[in-house]
Amino acid sequence: MPDAFPHLDYKPKLPRRLDRGIGIVGAGGIVNYAHLPAYKRAGFKVVAITDKNREAADKTARDHGIPRVCATVEELLANREVEIVDIAVYPAAQAEIVAKAAAAGKHMLCQKPFADEYSKALRNVELAAKANVKIAVNQQMRWDAGIRCARLLIDQCWLGAPTYGSIQVHCNTNWSMWPWIYAGKRLEVMFHSIHYIDSLRYLLGEPASVFTSGSRAPGETTSAETKTLTIWEYESGLQVLIDVCHSTWTDDAYATFRLEGSEGVIKGTIGLMYNYPTGRPDTLEFMSNKNPGYWFAARLDSMWIPDAFVGPMASLMRAVEEDTEPETSGRDNLRTLQIVFAEYRSMAEKRAVRPREIVD
Ligand SMILES: NC(=O)c1ccc[n+]([C@@H]2O[C@H](COP(=O)([O-])OP(=O)(O)OC[C@H]3O[C@@H](n4cnc5c(N)ncnc54)[C@H](O)[C@@H]3O)[C@@H](O)[C@H]2O)c1
């Protein structure tokens, strides 16, 4: 029976010690408009930064009051004050930095996608285990208010047995923020829907098989997919739909999620996707079949960017403190990546693919 007064304490749980030294690799967009504002709000201590582009590192250090700019990753890793390395570079460059950080005995927060090949992700996880360091992956949508509240409601029995889940996002994405993604061969699933994949796993568990159709709008110059329709099937009969289009030209863009179950319904909007990267707070409504027709609504006051970015770092710091696994650990992320690569195999082979088919 769901409690008449659901407990929606959705803000990230902070570690006891906030002052573990963070060293950042990569001074690009996401570090400037998401990581650093989030860490400032949480009270985390950033002690150093490096970037291949020295000017970018200098400017970020100036703008955010970071005391040290390192010329190389090696110099940053040699700094004893750095306990956690926060990596935010291009996915193809991440594995080499992970290997160096593991050898230096540093814990790591890696950006999503954790790797551009499944075998590299597996190797990262093995390296970290051998070096006895922790890896968390920055799948921060799990801490986005609407998603975290949905999970709290599920845990408090508002949904019953899940029967249907969907995330539908039709927006107009400005790819000039990421020319390197637009120039690549994999786009929508690898860089965007990976958040929905990770969040839906978090809410509903692991699908048995996935089917994805990927396409582009007329006139798009990328050779990758910018719109996808995906269906997940579960052994229980639960079905999931992920429907994403980044080239909507109309003025009625939308970003919604919906979960239906034997006992209730949860639905909401993903505020960030209405005006990236400024966004707006999520909305959330839910109803139990014990009180049909009575919809409850939560007023959510935090934003995906930057507030949700506290979550993965806080979870990593707590894992270090308590010697546990971070919530979005590298090992957990292997399951998210299996679905990502299963969806690409599905697009290529035009068939439903079991995520477990994706092995080394
Ligand atoms: N919501 C999210 O989680 C989210 C949003 C946007 C981007 N990202 C991810 O963050 C990462 C960075 O994206 P961005 O938008 O900041 O890109 P960006 O192009 O703005 O910045 C990347 C920075 O990394 C630096 N860099 C690249 N290789 C390096 C290396 N080997 N050593 C040191 N510095 C290096 C570049 O010089 C550049 O300054 C990507 O993996 C992307 O997928 C995540």
Q: Which atom of ligand 1 sits closest to the CA of residue 91?
A: 41
What are the pLDDT digits (tens) for 307-347? 999 999 999 999 999 999 999 999 999 999 999 999 999 99
Q: Whose CA is nearest to atom 5 of ligand 1?
A: 30
Pocket of ligand 1 (CB under 6 A): 25-31, 50-53, 56, 73, 88-91, 93, 111-112, 138, 140, 178, 191
What are the pLDDT digits (tens) for 140-196? 999 999 999 999 999 999 999 999 999 999 999 999 999 999 999 999 999 999 999
- pLDDT given at position 137: 98
Non-local (6+) Cβ contacts of 206 within 8 A are: 335, 355
Beta bridge partners of 267: 258, 285
Phi, psi of 265 (to 5 degrees): -135, 140
What is the Å distance from ligand 1's center to 118 Cα?
Answer: 19
For ligand 1, mutation pick of 24, 25, 32, 52 (most atoms within 8 Å of CB): 52
What is the Å distance from ligand 1's center to 302 Cα?
Answer: 24
Q: Whole-prediction pTM value? A: 0.97
Mean pLDDT of the chain: 97
Report the distance separating Cα 263 and Cα 50, nearest Å: 51
Report the distance separating Cα 138 and Cα 328, nearest Å: 7
Question: Which residue blocks in 220-329 are alpha helix, DSSP H?
Answer: 310-322
Beta bridge partners of 21: 45
Report the distance separating Cα 307 and Cα 35, nearest Å: 9
- pLDDT given at position 187: 98
Report the distance separating Cα 9 and Cα 296, nearest Å: 16
What are the pLDDT digits (tens) for 33-57? 999 999 999 999 999 999 999 999 9
For ligand 1, mutation pick of 70, 90, 142 (most atoms within 8 Å of CB): 90
Q: Whose CA is nearest to atom 38 of ligand 1?
A: 28
Of the candidates 53, 50, 59, the residue with the CA atom closest to the CA atom of residue 25:
50
Report the distance separating Cα 257 and Cα 98, nearest Å: 34
- pLDDT given at position 2: 67
What is the Å distance from ligand 1's center to 291 Cα?
Answer: 47
Cis peptide before 277 (omega within 30 of 0): yes
Q: Which atom of ligand 1 sits closest to the CA of residue 180?
A: 19
